[in-house]
Structure formats: C-alpha cells, structure tokens
Amino acid sequence: MLDSDSDIKSVIFQKGEYSVIDDVIVTYKNGKQEHCYQVKHEIETSNQKALTFSTIIAKDKNGRSLIDDLAIGWREASLKTGNDIVPSLFTNKTLGKNKTQRFYKGLEYQAITLGDFFVEIKQKLTETGELDKFAFTETESDLLVQWQEFTNAISIPYDFISSFLNKLSIKSSQASLVELEQSLFTGISEIFKCSPETAAKLFSRLVAELRKWTTSIRISEEVTAEIAYEALGTKLEISNEQHRLAPPSPFFKSREEFCRIIVDEIKRTSSPIVFIFGEPGSGKTSIVSHIQATYDLFTIRYHSFRTISPEQRFYNMDMGLCEPRQLWTELMIQIRGRLRGKLREYGVPVVCDHISDVNLRSEVLRLLSIISKETNAGAVPAFRCNARTVQKSIVPKNICIS
C-alpha cells in the first residue's frame, strides 16, 4: 500500500462486521473488490502438518468445517456489502502431496490431493459455468464421490457454491514470520530509499501501531497509506517541545504593548522578515515566547540558545542546537506535524536518518514553501533574535527562528 504504484486503498485488520474471512481485508481504489484473508499460520516445526482435503472438510464439534466457515463468511460479507468479495486462505502450511483412501456414505474411493482437486473443479467451472452442468466421466468416478463429500461439507445454498469456488484461492506455503519480516525490511528500504538499519526502525514503528490497528481502541478500522505515513513519520526522532519556551512571569506591561505592536506589524507588513535586535539579556526571546503563547502566531519555531533567567543555577552551553543538522531535522519534525493528513501527498520524508544535510535542507525548504502556500502567505514574517544575517528564502510565513 505504501508503494506509490499500488492500487490499494486501505487495509483492515479483523473487520468487525465480517466473520471468518476477517483477518486482513484489502480494499482497492478502482472499485468495490475486497480481498479477504483468513490466516492459518502455525509454528514451523520438523513435523509440521500439511493442509489436506481432509483438513478443510473435517467438521468440528459444532458441525462446521473450515471450507464451510470460509463459504459462510464470504456469503455474509457479499450480501451485507454488495462488494466483490474475494476470499483467500493464507497459510504457511504446504499442500498435501499424497492421494488417500477415503470412505463416504459407504463408498470407498481414492481422493486426489487438495491442490489437484481444486484444479479439476475449477476447470469444470470454467467449462460449464454452473454446478448443475458438471459432468464426470466413468474414469472420474472417484472425483465425483470426492466432489459430493466436499459439497456436503458446505452449508451455504447450492446455487452460491459455484460463485464461492470461482472466487476462493488457497495461498499455501507462504513465508514464515522471519521471512516476512525480512521481505518487509527490503520493501521499506526500496520505497523510502533508506538503509536496512533505518528500514528496521520504520518497521518497528509499524509494528507498534498494530496495537491500535488490531484492537478495540482504534478510532477507525481502515488503515490508509496516509495513516501508515503518520505512524512512520510523526514518531519524534528528537523532541521539539524545547522550542515552546514559556514567557517569563510576571511579564512587563510595557512589553505586552510592544508585543501587540509587533503582531500588528506582522499582519500589516509586506516585508519578508520582521527582525528583532537587542543586546544579550534584553528580552528578545521572552518577547517571541509571549507572542507565541498569547497570539499563537507561529506554526513552526526553532531557537538556538535558551534564554537566561534568574532561576538558572548553571549556564547551559546549548550544545547541538546550533548545528545545521539539528536545525533542519527539528524543522522537519515540526513540518510533519503541520502537514499531518497530507504526508504522502507532499512526499514528506518519514525519517531523516538517511538524508544528507544538503538534501535535508532542500526538503525542508520545499515543504516550508508548501506550508506558506497553504496558509495563503503573501508576506513572509519571521523573527531572528540575534544580529546575524537571515537568508530570506528559508523563512516562509509564520516561521520563527530565534
């Protein structure tokens, strides 16, 4: 689904209104078709049992067989939704390879393997289109009895069985969990052009979300590509809460008026930059913090040096905050929050680890330009609380750099 070439609209784990074929539901953008997977994996051992004809028709204590459960689940989902339901039995078991002697209603016959049986039956469906027109030759007497035993294990109306069998697929010999993980690592690496180490990190983020996606605490059943992107991209690599600095209390009344004048200037001016200059300790950062807290003016804020206050016992060197990589990474984190719901649409990088400093800067500037357009920016107001020159192109609307 994360692949841009994919036609998948969403994935649902354990769909509430379906039964049996509810483990994984895949919906598509181009119509009402739904692929519904019933997963029957088992722990791999040296004596792992195969999936056989006997396995799928054997009735449990409630008189239901596996093939009957699949048929009932398919019919109920089809009638309930009107969608084109494609049921699949998905398992890491292999199909049985040997013919067996069986008894059905006093008749002894030789049953062919499950795989061969479905090939034969689907061939007859292709030729005739209807069960009533099935014809078995003298040499197919065993197949006829096997067919009778098979349909006897299905409780849905006979008229629906042909449609069910036309849709049903059995996906056997599927990869183990370890093999599936490895294929997912590879797929994630290719999609996001990242290293195996970064792919493993992204995979872990998806796994963590399964707690929500597969349980009753989920808000919505559907997992779309955008929801997956949010799971991958809004897990903070670095906390940006440190940039939401609280203004000092009490705040001088004269400064409140000064802040109001600045806000009016920001809203009025067509200049690309609003520049505040003052000596260290004169209150530049406090002014910006007050504007942020009172007027909620900034969608993104970054500061390089923490403000000095009387409560500080030690001077903090602010190591790291002045590094270019730190700036671009934290801006990207805040951008993801600002563009939530459109991460995939705008191609927002879900992780920064694999991006070079130069490319990371380019991506930040590209996305800041998008934010500027989304907020109908005409002017490009920003703050810079020291005397160094600011390059205008890096300061779109409502971006505060102090």
Tens digit of pLDDT for each residue in 70-105?
A: 999 999 999 999 999 999 999 999 999 999 999 999
Give the C-alpha separation, 50 to 80, whole Å. Answer: 33
Cα–Cα distance list, 107 to 104, 141, 142, 156, 374 (Å): 5, 11, 10, 24, 74
Q: Evaluate whether 2 touches 191 at the Cβ level (below 8 Å).
A: yes
Distances (CA, A) of 249 to 261, 279, 290, 348: 20, 21, 10, 38
The pLDDT, as a whole number, for residue 297 is 75
CA 291 to the chain's CA centroid: 37
Greatest alpha-carbon pair distance for the chain in Å reads 104
pLDDT in tens, 347-362: 999 888 889 999 999 9
381 vs 361: which has the higher pLDDT? 361
The domain defined by 241-401 folds into Rossmann fold (3.40.50)
Alpha-carbon distance 88 to 85, whole Å? Answer: 10
pTM of the full structure: 0.75
Give 284's pLDDT tier (boundaries 50, 70, 90). confident
Domain range list for the chain: 8-171, 177-219, 241-401
Give me the mean pLDDT over the 309-324 stretch: 64
Q: What is the mean pLDDT of the chain?
A: 84
Cα 329 from chain centre:
22
Edge-first strand listing for the sheet containing 382-383: 300-302, 399-401, 382-383
Q: CA-to-CA distance for 325 and 363, rounded, in angstroms?
A: 13
Q: What percent of the chain has pLDDT over 90?
A: 44
Q: How confident is the model at residue 241 (pLDDT cuts 50, 70, 90)?
A: low
Q: Cα dist. 387→279, 333, 384, 390 in Å? A: 9, 26, 8, 9
The better pLDDT of the pair 172, 377 is held by: 172
The mean pLDDT value for 100-120 works out to: 95
pLDDT class of 237 with cuts at 50, 70, 90 = low
Letter for the amino acid at 271?
S
| pLDDT grade for 395, boundaries at 50, 70 and 90 | very low
Contact 401, 390 (CB under 8 A): yes
Q: Check whether 381 has a pLDDT greater than 70.
A: no
Decide if pLDDT at 390 tops 50.
no
Q: Read off the pLDDT of each residue in 307-314 and give the average, rounded to a whole number.
A: 59
Q: Which residue, among 334, 270, 263, 272, has the nearest Cα to 297 in the 3D structure?
A: 263
Q: Does residue 240 have a pLDDT over 60?
A: no
Place of tokens 């001088």: 252
The answer, yes or no, to whether residue 283 has pLDDT greater than 60, is yes
